[in-house]
Structure 1
């Protein structure tokens, strides 16, 4: 007998973002889905990144031994390395969508917002608010460290900037879809308190960044908390995606123009002042994004009837 299609469920009206995958008597779905999603993401990213490097080697006419290019790519010393890394991380989107559909029996569109769609006007507003908020704190951080920026573009800077602009947003959005989207909702389907999903997803997000000192870990963990609360309180991923995209474009763009992308990627420690200022910048943006959302009268829970995205 051929099994029928998997039924796709719809969240109840009045459901907040962290509980969009919740289902009575089916907490096991979140307990199973979360580790499965992480495992699939690691596996798929581990396949995509080497494939991109291999393609770059072939298109480059095999001008150097593959092992040499692969080593340089792993250190982000060539644009192909950054493309490979960003596209590997972008694999989080199809993984999250697949797990939501097959394990939770929900449409992947509920990863986006409580309306099941992108609220484009709100996303644009957040993209406009993020640069001044994050740049202001970056300027304060530079002054506090006493090390002014020196404009010294790295070799091949044009190629790096193109890659940063074209693939950087894919990587940032994919991380938000996996961590502030799927993991927050999966944990939220296990424990009713939204804080469980917010803190749990932030912890996994920080740990995923590998080797780091305590202050850098706390910096990333705090970003995860701020972004998670923002997603919860605004009912969607738009603001968190905007902050992540703008932060990465600024960080890697300035690195390419003042030092190197490889140096920025190799960052493993910051001091307490840097961590506090970083978190302050994200918190400032979060407050502004929340106020903009209130001004736009965003839906923060699923409506009783289909609503038009703002």
Structure 2
């Protein structure tokens, strides 16, 4: 953990130095005044949860670290790829629907500074593509991997654990709009069900990565990386869209898993 914190700190300060970015104002929620440097620190700060969780499973839980990933003791990359073929197009459609629906309320980019220019945009995309998959996966390892397994073992059934982990997942994003909290809780419950149904984290990692890549990519393009808003601030339209798209993805993937004989329990 200490090593991870040091890596994040050093990486953030090195990038800040390269970008000539000073620290943010004392009353700011950001670490650095440059949004790209700040994004690196925030993403790495979450991503270090992956080795921490795997270490905890191996050393404290006294079991193979890979059992956090799936019932077969590792990430099933082929299965993850099939989930991506479903999840990425579906997430693109969902975000497109949401943008079209809310365009008259607040057009995309209205609250940002506008296109930052190609050098900054491409640097932002490089950071997003390199780090967001690890950040999104880390949240899944914590909330739908380790936490569900630990609580599930204590109560001898996974479903109370899914409920507890889903609530904590929603709360971890902060307090914003009621619609945002309900969206996070609703999504987390479906994703928790999908983890149990497919015996691993692959399907939910895909959807989380797809969501965050598209969201951060749009933010980078419209100069909104410095925004402190999270999914907890999502409008009611996003909640309504999630009512449809979350079960659509989860039920589709669960059906594919059943047809392909994806393992649901440890061999």
Same fold (TM over 0.5): yes
Secondary structure at the aligned position of 2:154 is classed as coil
What are the Cα deviations for residues 267-297 of structure 1, in whole angstroms up to 9, with x where unaligned?
Answer: 4523322212134222221122112211211
| Structure 2 residue 99 is the aligned partner of structure 1 residue 142 | yes
- Residue ranges of structure 1 left out of the alignment (5+ in a row): 1-39, 304-310
With CA pairs under 8 Å and 6+ residues apart, which has the higher RCO, 1 or 2?
A: 1
Counterpart for residue 78 of structure 2: 121
The partner residue of 2:229 within 263, 266, 271 is 266
**What SS does the aligned partner of 1:261 have?**
coil
Change (3 A) 1:291 1:76: farther
2:16·2:34 contact (CA, 8 Å) conserved in 1?
no
Query: In 2, distance between residues paired with 1:273 and 1:167?
Result: 28
Contact 1:114 1:301 in 2 (8 A): yes
Query: How far apart are residue 94 of structure 1 and its match?
Result: 1.5
Q: CA deviation at 1:180?
A: 0.7
Comparing 185-194 with 131-140, greater Cα deviation is found at 131-140
Aligned to 2:258: 294
Residue 275 of structure 1 corresponds to 239
C-alpha distance in structure 2 between counterparts of 1:101 and 1:262, whole Å: 37
Which residue in the other structure is 2:132 paired with? 168
Per-residue deviation at 1:195?
Answer: 1.1
Q: What is the DSSP-based 3-state SS (H/G/I as helix, E as strand, rest coil) of the residue aligned with 1:133? A: helix
Instruction: Confirm or deny: 8 A CA contact 2:22 2:32 kept in the other structure.
Output: no
Out of 78, 89, 98, the position equivalent to 1:132 is 89
Computing the radius of gyration from Cα coordinates, the structure with the larger value is: 1
SS for the counterpart of 1:189 is helix
Larger deviation, residues 268-277 vs 249-258: 268-277
Q: 2:115 aligns with which of 153, 170, 195?
A: 153
Alpha-carbon offset, residue 76 of structure 1: 7.7
Partner residue, 1:51: 10
**1:45 positional shift:** 7.0
Matched-pair contact (CA < 8 Å) for 1:76–1:82: no
Equivalences, count: 259
Residue of 207, 215, 219 corresponding to 1:243: 207
Q: Unpaired runs of 5+ in structure 2?
A: none
Where 1:262 maps in the other structure, the secondary structure is coil
